[in-house]
Structure 1
Amino acid sequence: MAPTLNIIGAGHVGRVLGRLFAASGEFDIGGVLTRSAGSAADAVAFIGAGQALESVAQLARADTWMLAVPDDQIAAVCEQLAATVALDGALVFHCSGAKSSVELDSAARAGALTASVHPIRSFADPQAVAGSFGGTWCGVEGAPGAIAMLEPALLAIGGRVAHIDAAAKTLYHAAAVFASNYLVTVVDTALRAYQAAGIPAAAARELARPLATETLANVFRLGPETALSGPVARGDMATVARQQAAVSAWDPEAGKLYEALAAATVQLAARRT
């Protein structure tokens, strides 16, 4: 018999993991509790298993609990769970990239093994993610016993496991923000600057596309030090100064971004020697 898994919070991440765990046979899905009965029923339909519930009081005891709720609700939901259901000997984990397993301290005090599992990818399209999860890295941290139970389950659904220092969980999540969110911001600034120079928006995207994609490919193929090119890499700080002035005159906030990035790039260039 597969261990039972109750799910609290079945948005994009919760329902994808629920479907994959159920399909793999790693867990037998029990109760599914979300913000409303309707959304719980939708989640159960997507997962293909489980029972839609309306309150914590309806949750039966389970071997494993997945809390896929918003970050700021993890601790409160866990406290409510620990006060309502026996958790001794159970595994309780959440799916936040920003919060560590410390958020589940109330479950740990109730005798549960606790951990966090953060699949490192966008879940904007749950159907697509569920069909292409293989190879997805999952950042994990928590009690050794919890990790020992979770790691085989993640491997069974095609995940790859990266062990995180719980004390550095916020820094870990910031790394993902740099690699994804802030990358979008930098490219957006480039597109706006092209347009300010007279290039239509559609053409600006086509100009930026090969620069951005080839640069990223070089970073992951050669490493950032070797991939770096441009005026800072050449030591042409006079050009950097002229660009700084031009960008600041066009958009003061973009000028601040350019200045911060130039300083960081100087440090990166120094690692090349």
Structure 2
Amino acid sequence: MAPSLNIIGAGHVGRVLGRLFAASGEFEVGAVLTRSAASAADAVAFIGAGQAVTDIAQMDRADAWMLAVPDDQIAAACARLAAAVPLAGALVFHCSGAKSSLELDAAAQAGALTASAHPIRSFADPDAVAHGFGGTWCGVEGAPGAIAMLEPALLAIGGRVAQIDASAKTVYHAAAVFASNYLVTVIDAALRAYQAAGIPEAAARELARPLATETLANVFRLGPESALSGPIARGDMATVARQQAAVATWDPGAGRLYEALAEATVGLAARRH
């Protein structure tokens, strides 16, 4: 019989993992607790298993507990759990990329095996992620006993596991922000700069698309040092200075971004040589 799994917090990440764990047979989903009865019922319908509850007191003892709550609520939710339910020997894990398993100290003090498991992808479309989860990397850290229970379950749903250093969890999460969120910010600056030069928005996207996609392909094929091109790679700092002044005049915020990126790119170019 599959180990039981109770879920606290079932937004996009929680419900996707709940569905995948239940479908794989790795866990038998039990109680699902969210912010309201309606959202809990909706989560259970998405998962295709479990029972919606409205209070932690309604949750029976389980072999495993998944806390898929917002980052700033993990410690408090864990403390409430540890005060309400026996946890000795149970697996308790959260799904945050920014917080480490140390947020689950209340559960660890109660005898639980604690860990964090962070799927490294966007969950904007939960149904699409659930159908295409195969190959998703999951950053995992925590107690060895917890990892021994959690890793096979992640592999069974198509995940790939990367064990990370808990003490560097914030830097690990910042890596995802650089690779995703800040990439969007840089592309937005490029599109607005094209438009400032008189190019319509739709055309600006088409101008930027091949540069961005080919550059990303080169980074992952050749490495950042070899993929770098442009004035800094050529040592043409006069052009960089002219661009810096022009961008700062057009948009002071974009000018500060250009300056910071230029400084970082000089360092990258130095590594190249």
Answer yes or no: same fold by TM over 0.5: yes
The answer for the alignment partner of 2:73 in structure 1 is: 73
1:144 aligns with 2:144: yes
Deviation string 1:45-91 (CA, Å, 9 cap, x unpaired) is 10000000010000000000000000000000000000000000100
Root-mean-square deviation (CA, aligned residues, Å) is: 0.4
- Taking structure 1 as the reference length, the TM-score comes to 1.00
The answer for the alignment partner of 1:64 in structure 2 is: 64
Write out aligned runs for 1:18-167 (5 A). Answer: 18-167=18-167
Cα separation, 2, equivalents of 1:187 and 1:148 = 41
Give the gaps of 5 or more residues in structure 2.
none
Q: Percent identity?
A: 85
Cα separation, 2, equivalents of 1:34 and 1:45 = 13
1:204 aligns with 2:189: no
Deviation string 1:11-43 (CA, Å, 9 cap, x unpaired) is 000000000000000000110000001110000
The answer for the alignment partner of 2:214 in structure 1 is: 214
The answer for the alignment partner of 1:259 in structure 2 is: 259
- Taking structure 2 as the reference length, the TM-score comes to 1.00
Cα separation, 1, equivalents of 2:65 and 2:159 = 19
1:182 aligns with 2:182: yes
Cα separation, 1, equivalents of 2:257 and 2:17 = 37
Offset at residue 108 of structure 1 (A): 0.1
Offset at residue 264 of structure 1 (A): 0.4
Cα separation, 2, equivalents of 1:28 and 1:253 = 51
Cα separation, 1, equivalents of 2:135 and 2:215 = 23
Please give the secondary structure, in 1, of the residue aligned with 2:272: coil
Cα separation, 2, equivalents of 1:259 and 1:125 = 35
Please give the secondary structure, in 2, of the residue aligned with 1:114: strand
Deviation string 1:137-174 (CA, Å, 9 cap, x unpaired) is 00000000000110000000000001110000000000
The answer for the alignment partner of 1:241 in structure 2 is: 241
Offset at residue 8 of structure 1 (A): 0.3
1:170 aligns with 2:157: no
Cα separation, 1, equivalents of 2:197 and 2:211 = 17
Deviation string 1:177-198 (CA, Å, 9 cap, x unpaired) is 0000000000000000000000
Offset at residue 118 of structure 1 (A): 0.3
Give the gaps of 5 or more residues in structure 1.
none
The answer for the alignment partner of 1:6 in structure 2 is: 6
Deviation string 1:218-256 (CA, Å, 9 cap, x unpaired) is 000000000000000000000000000000000111111
| Deviation >2 Å, runs of 4+ | none
Cα separation, 1, equivalents of 2:235 and 2:7 = 55
Cα separation, 1, equivalents of 2:242 and 2:163 = 44
Please give the secondary structure, in 2, of the residue aligned with 1:271: helix
- Number of aligned residue pairs: give it: 273
Offset at residue 268 of structure 1 (A): 0.2
The answer for the alignment partner of 2:17 in structure 1 is: 17
